[in-house]
């Protein structure tokens, strides 16, 4: 039985499904998690309101682990956390784990990135997402990382998505993330790729 109070159970409390707390307060991300895990025998729960974990790790994987373990310890249930960011080769891999802190909103983050890369020819970059599931005892049960390679465009293109989407172009698709449909982004995107790795491992864990 959980210690902290999880919000919004999506099935009833008699459910035999495995409870899994989503360690995020970002509604877009929670929606994405729900869609990507909809076929799994899970009772998805939300982390306690106002619960906050500082993301001060040096890697995406460290931050995802930290959040999953903290939420599992708080709730006494399995917890799933992610951490993502954009790594630009001409910026020595930055902003990386500082992607959210690079500027105060999406528009300013994009403006700063284009400004820093002004005149730069070599614009290779990649997006990465680390996912981690921790057990009710706070032990890491599984971890995966999904990566999508691309380049930073010279100007923003496309109107969909969020964050750095309008300036991140996936070469194999010939499109920026912001020019992709949700289905295309789930196929080409770093988060979709991380979930593709997570699902078979999670299935084995649930049946094991
Ligand atoms: P988070 O760790 O997933 O919250 O992301 C950290 C930073 O990377 C935020 O500034 C996000 O806007 C950005 N980011 C993460 N995933 C994406 C994406 O799929 N598209 C664009 N920006 C993203």
Q: pLDDT for 137-163, tens place per residue?
A: 999 999 999 999 999 999 999 999 889
Residue 163 CB–ligand 1 contact under 6 Å: yes
Tokens at 129, concatenated: 């997402």
The pLDDT score that the predictor gives to residue 72 is 97
Residue 27, both tokens: 């509604």
pLDDT band at 6 (very low <50, low <70, confident <90, very high): low
- Cβ–ligand 1 distance for 53 under 6 Å, the answer no
Which atom of ligand 1 is closest in space to residue 55's alpha carbon?
2
pLDDT exceeds cutoff 70 at 14: no
Six-digit token string for 106: 């999406």
Report the pLDDT value the prediction gives residue 34, as an integer from 0 to 100.
87
Rounded to the nearest angstrom, the distance between the alpha carbon of 158 and the centre of ligand 1 is 17
The region of weakest confidence among 66-70, 91-95, 102-106, 158-162 is 158-162
pTM for this one? 0.90
The arithmetic mean of pLDDT across residues 175-201, rounded, is: 93
CB contact at 8 A, 99 and 55: no
Q: What is the pLDDT of residue 25?
A: 85
Question: Quick check: CB of 60 below 6 Å from ligand 1?
Answer: no
> For ligand 1, is residue 32 a contact (CB within 6 Å)?
no
Fold of the domain spanning 18-207: Maf protein (3.90.950)
Which listed residue (82, 83, 106, 165) is catalytic?
83
Residue 24 Cα, ligand 1 centroid: separation in angstroms? 13
Spell out the domain ranges in the chain: 18-207
- Residue range 44-89, pLDDT digits in tens: 999 999 999 999 999 999 999 999 999 999 999 999 999 999 999 9
**165 has catalytic annotation:** no
91-94 long-range contacts, CB within 8 A, separation 24+: 91/116, 91/117
CA of 149 to the centre of ligand 1 (A): 15
Mean of the pLDDT values across residues 169-176?
96
DSSP secondary structure letters along 159-192: SSSSTTGGGEEETTTTEEGGGS-HHHHHHHSHHH
Structure token digits, residue 28: 């877009």
């Amino acid at each position: 039985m959980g210690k902290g109070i999880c919000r919004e159970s999506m099935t009833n409390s008699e459910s035999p499904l495995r409870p899994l707390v989503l360690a995020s307060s970002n509604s877009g991300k929670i929606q994405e998690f729900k869609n990507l895990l909809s076929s799994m025998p899970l009772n998805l729960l939300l982390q306690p309101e106002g619960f906050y974990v500082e993301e001060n790790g040096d890697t995406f994987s460290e931050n995802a682990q930290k959040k999953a373990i903290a939420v599992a310890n708080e709730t006494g249930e399995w917890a799933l956390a992610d951490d993502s960011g954009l790594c630009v080769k001409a910026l020595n891999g930055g902003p990386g784990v500082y992607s959210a802190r690079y500027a105060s909103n999406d528009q300013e983050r994009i403006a700063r990135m284009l400004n820093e890369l002004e005149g730069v020819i070599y614009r290779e970059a990649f997006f990465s997402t680390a996912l981690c599931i921790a057990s009710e005892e706070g032990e890491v049960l599984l971890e995966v990382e999904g990566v999508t390679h691309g380049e930073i465009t010279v100007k923003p293109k496309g109107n969909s998505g969020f964050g750095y989407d309008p300036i991140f172009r996936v070469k194999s698709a010939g499109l920026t993330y912001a020019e992709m449909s949700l289905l295309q982004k789930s196929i080409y995107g770093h988060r979709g790729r991380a979930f593709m790795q997570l699902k078979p491992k999670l299935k084995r864990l649930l049946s094991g």
